[in-house]
Amino acid sequence: MSKPTVYEAVPQFGRLRNEVLYGDVWNQPELSKRDRSLATCAILAALGKNAELEAHMKMGIENGLTVEELRGLVVQVAFYAGWPCGVNAAKAGMELFAADLGRS
């Protein structure tokens, strides 16, 4: 059998992800999905969680953010969470930024 995912490795974690995080929190009406993506990317960048940030930047584009807005986020992160968090956020979005510049 193939190597389990983190959610298969810890089944309660997978259940809570499906039922609560994606099945409940993301669907609540207070904040749009586009804004949840922007906030989530900002949080992940501030905490230096780059693997998740890369995934959420791509999901953010699907939810209506633009590549240019993600560039603005990188700078805002650099000033409020520190320069290295800005650098890491730019790395996490590199695939999107490079494609946008025609250099992917």
- Which residues contribute to the site for a second copy (CB under 8 A)? 1-4, 6-13, 16, 20-21, 24-25, 28-31, 35-36, 38-49, 52, 68-69, 71-88, 90-91, 93-94, 97-98, 101-103
**CB 71, CB 78: distance < 8 Å:** no
Using the CB atoms, write b or e for 13-46: b if 16+ within 10 Å. eeeeeeeeeeeeeeeeeeeeeeebbbebbbebbe
Q: Report the residue number, 43 or 61, with the smaller CB distance to a second copy.
A: 43
| Smallest distance, a second copy to C-beta of residue 35, A | 6
d(CA 30, CA 8): 31
Least distance from a second copy to the Cβ atom of residue 40, Å: 6
* Cβ-based nearer residue to a second copy, 8 or 62: 8
